[in-house]
Amino acid sequence: MGENISTRVAYGRSLEEFGGRQDIYVFDADLKSCTMTQYFADRYPERFFNIGIAEANMVDIAAGFATCGATALVHTFAMFAAGRVYDQVRNSVAYPGLNVKIIGSHAGLTVGEDGATHQCIEDISLMRTIPGMTVIVPCDANETRMATRAILDMKGPCYLRTGRCALECVTDTFENYHFEVGKGIQLVDGADVSIIACGLMVQEALKAERILRKEGISARIIDMHTIKPIDKEIIQKAAKETGAIVTAEEHNIIGGLGSAVSEVVVSDENVPVEMVGVKDVFGHSASPQILLQKYGLTPEDIASAARRVVRRKK
């Protein structure tokens, strides 16, 4: 796409683009102008259902459609998609292994002024602990388009996390970029430290790499768009070749990307790891940029973590 738009808008446009298959059914909890399913609804109204503010019912209805061969996609804010309907996602979708995709929009701190009640920083953790659940966190419009196409083609339950604010499109500028579920992407090579990021923190990590380069620190940047199944091979290679890892996520450091990467590291190449993310606290109402600064999710924070972990390695 190449546009600097939010991943939720990119998702909505991509769903419309790839939604021509007759087995695709879309369900929304009365938020189509926010989740951006309005694009699909306008083009394919016969396969779009507004269930209303009844998220649990929505998931169960989608599961019913999936038992009849549908590729069913449910949409609401991440706070509700991962929290309010956890029971239904676990027992009605994942336990029987149904082909239902859970799309959680407005995730993370950058929901901004909506405040702590709507800033879902636990969803990656909740979803990745469910057996058989694929978890994907795209970083920009181009990657979101690729992820949307991929989840429509794959079978089984999946959680796709999208955000509210516009993001710089970066993945289409790398010649080596290739999206595949379960495979991280090395965007920049480096020898001193590996920075593994997901979502909007990929852009922040690329900025941090430029800061570190000026200081003589060579940072490898890995876009880990799939949190589950995690790409063990790329993590093990990074740990072995750089000897130090920083993870960066717009999520609680407990249970998210940092935890997933650390689980791989301690089982093989046991190297120092620093986690950049929300430090087990709730957010509050403010602009996205102020929140990223307050909670330590800026390029400078990533660069500081890289310096610390390089010192630990030495």
Q: How many CB atoms lie within 10 A of CB 135?
A: 29
Report the b/e string of 141-152 with b at 16+ CB within 10 A.
Answer: bbbbbbbbebbb
Which residues, 6+ apart, have CB-to-CB distance to 106 below 8 Å? 8, 34, 77, 78, 79, 114, 118, 120, 162, 163, 164
Query: Rounded distance, CA 103 to CA 301, Å?
Result: 29
Q: Which two tokens stand for residue 154?
A: 């794959």
**CA atoms of 60 and 93, how far apart (whole Å):** 8
Q: Which of 16, 17, 46, 55 is catalytic?
A: 55
**Cis-peptide into 229, omega within 30 deg:** yes
Residues 242/261, Cβ–Cβ less than 8 Å = no
CA–CA distance, 186 with 174 (Å, rounded to integer)? 10
Helix axes 141-153, 7-18, angle to 10 degrees: 40
- The residue to which tokens 């909007």 are assigned: 200
Torsions phi, psi for 104 (to 5 deg): -100, 110
Q: Does 250 participate in catalysis according to the annotation?
A: no
Which phi and psi angles does 246 have, rounded to 5°? -120, 135
DSSP 8-state class, residue 45: G
For the annotated catalytic residues, the residue numbers are 55
